[in-house]
């Protein structure tokens, strides 16, 4: 009986929060994995447990530069492009680099995938919808973004990255998949990256004031990372005709104030709540329509917000180390959640 050829996978951005979770799942499934990452926002510790493991390799490299020749000849079957800082303070710190990562980096990775005859998946974002006038957001909504504001390097960068991907696909050069990821959280988030889930949990755990930007009435819909990774893997494996971009996210929508309330309750924290100015162009609401992911990939999220936060809080408690307050979550290790099988 002929055995299935081995998947050989390049994960650009694989040292980051989502990328490192994805790498674990790919290795579990028997793929060989090479991570390409400049460690700008990713962390070596996210991959430390894989050092020396057969079938795993790490290459430090910025995707805006020509890809290293050492990658040629490995016969890659799949290229995941997750390379891009994702937290607003991180992607706004060097907006020129963020834009170039999305444009030049995408082009370098698409050309590489073309040379390898590999399928390519772009990690796009709900930010392509900007501050949406349509709610919830379906893939055929074209968005309401600013091309001049402080978020534009990311929002417009990702829109350009999608354009390039679909141009390569239309020309028959690369078989592409584009996932539009909605706010995702879970273990391996950088405690200092400035996103609301990491900020609020770390503030609650250390007893410092919890920061709400604006009046807290803006909404987001938070997806647990294991659910997201499952959706990404299913989309990459999807063999039908080009499906266009596919939303992956958890449609349970809540206000930022509601999120804060839940975190304070789950941590038992007595942190005060403090309001800070709302960042420019901060979207007022965001919720995915996941009908397409359901019909195309038979995917829907399985982890509730309560379950996901219960797995994420101990991870951050472990990260806080000595600064850890008087809350005990049993060793600081996140408990693994049952995962849906991909097939
Ligand atoms: P992250 O910042 O933890 O990971 C991004 C990774 O890309 C990091 O390891 C970083 O070092 C690397 N990187 C950045 N620029 C690079 C470059 N020029 N060359 C090589 N490596 C580079 O963020 P994340 O949350 O894991 O996000 C991963 C991907 O998913 C990103 O593309 C992001 O836009 C997308 N996404 C994430 C979310 C979310 O809620 N986390 C939402 C929508 C989209
Ligand atoms: N936010 C907040 N307090 C924080 C960090 C963020 O209230 O400490 C708000 C932010 O203004 C936004 C929401 O939480 O309205 C989600 O922010 P995040 O940076 O996590 O994601 P994004 O804005 O990219 O959706």
Domain for residue 298, yes or no?
no
* Chain segment 264-307, per-residue pLDDT in tens: 999 999 999 999 999 999 999 999 999 999 999 999 999 999 99
Cα angle value 204/210/215 (rounded, 5°): 145
Domain for residue 238, yes or no?
yes
The chain-wide mean pLDDT, for the chain, equals 93
Is the backbone peptide bond immediately before 57 cis, with ω within 30 degrees of 0? no
CB-based burial, 112-144: b 16+ in 10 Å, e otherwise:
bbbebebbbbbbbbbbbbbbbeeebbebebebe
Domain for residue 92, yes or no?
yes
- What pLDDT does residue 340 have? 32
Q: Return the structure tokens found at 212.
A: 């709400």
150 lines ligand 2 (CB under 6 A): no
Compute, in angstroms, the gap from residue 15 CA to the centroid of ligand 1. Answer: 9
Q: Return the structure tokens found at 323.
A: 């600064």
- What pLDDT does residue 219 have? 98
Instruction: Read off the pLDDT band of 3 (50, 70, 90).
Output: low
Domain for residue 136, yes or no?
yes
Asked if 22 contacts 80 with a C-beta cutoff of 8 angstroms, the reply is: yes
Domain for residue 48, yes or no?
yes
**How long is the chain?**
343
Residue 82 pLDDT exceeds 80: yes
Active-site residue, from 91, 120, 129, 154: 154
- What pLDDT does residue 333 have? 34
Compute, in angstroms, the gap from residue 99 CA to the centroid of ligand 2. Answer: 21
Residue given tokens 């879970």 in the structure block: 186
Pairing state of beta strands 56-60 and 32-37?
parallel
Compute, in angstroms, the gap from residue 133 CA to the centroid of ligand 2. Answer: 19
| Residue 154 designated active-site | yes
Q: How many domains does the chain have?
A: 1
Which CATH number is 238's domain given?
3.40.50.720
Q: Which domain, by its residues, includes 123?
A: 8-184+222-248
Domain for residue 93, yes or no?
yes
Domain for residue 282, yes or no?
no
Domain for residue 211, yes or no?
no
Write down the pTM of the prediction.
0.94
Distance of CA 302 to the CA centre of its chain: 17
């Amino acid at each position: 009986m002929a055995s299935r050829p081995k998947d050989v996978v390049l994960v650009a951005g694989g040292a980051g929060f989502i990328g490192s979770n994805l790498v674990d799942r790919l290795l579990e499934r028997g793929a060989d994995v090479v991570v390409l990452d400049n460690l700008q926002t990713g962390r070596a510790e996210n991959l430390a447990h894989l050092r020396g493991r057969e079938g795993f390799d790490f290459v430090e490299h910025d995707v805006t530069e020509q890809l290293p020749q050492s990658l040629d000849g490995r016969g890659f079957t799949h290229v995941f492009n997750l390379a891009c800082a994702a937290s607003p303070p991180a992607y706004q710190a060097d907006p020129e680099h963020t834009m170039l990562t999305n444009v030049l980096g995408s082009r370098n990775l698409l050309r590489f995938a073309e040379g390898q005859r590999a399928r390519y998946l772009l990690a796009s974002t709900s930010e392509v919808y900007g501050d949406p006038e349509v709610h919830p957001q379906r893939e055929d909504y074209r968005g309401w973004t600013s091309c001049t504001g402080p978020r534009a390097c990311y929002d417009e960068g990702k829109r350009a990255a999608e354009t390039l991907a679909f141009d390569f696909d239309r020309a028959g050069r690369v078989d592409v998949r584009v996932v539009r990821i909605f706010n995702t959280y879970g273990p391996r988030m950088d405690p200092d990256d400035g996103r609301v889930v990491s900020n609020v949990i770390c503030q609650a755990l250390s007893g410092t004031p919890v920061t709400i930007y604006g009046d807290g009435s803006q909404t987001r819909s938070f997806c647990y990372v294991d659910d997201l990774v499952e959706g990404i893997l299913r989309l990459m494996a999807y063999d039908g005709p080009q499906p266009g971009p596919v939303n992956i996210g958890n449609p349970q929508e809540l206000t930022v104030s509601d999120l804060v309330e839940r975190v304070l309750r789950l941590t038992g924290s007595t942190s005060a709540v403090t309001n800070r100015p709302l960042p420019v162009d901060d979207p007022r609401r965001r919720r995915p329509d996941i009908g397409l992911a359901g019909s195309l990939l038979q995917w829907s999220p399985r982890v509730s917000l309560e379950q996901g936060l219960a797995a994420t809080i101990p991870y951050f408690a472990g990260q806080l180390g000595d600064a850890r307050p008087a809350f005990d979550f049993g060793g600081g290790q996140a408990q693994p959640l049952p995962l849906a099988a991909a097939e």
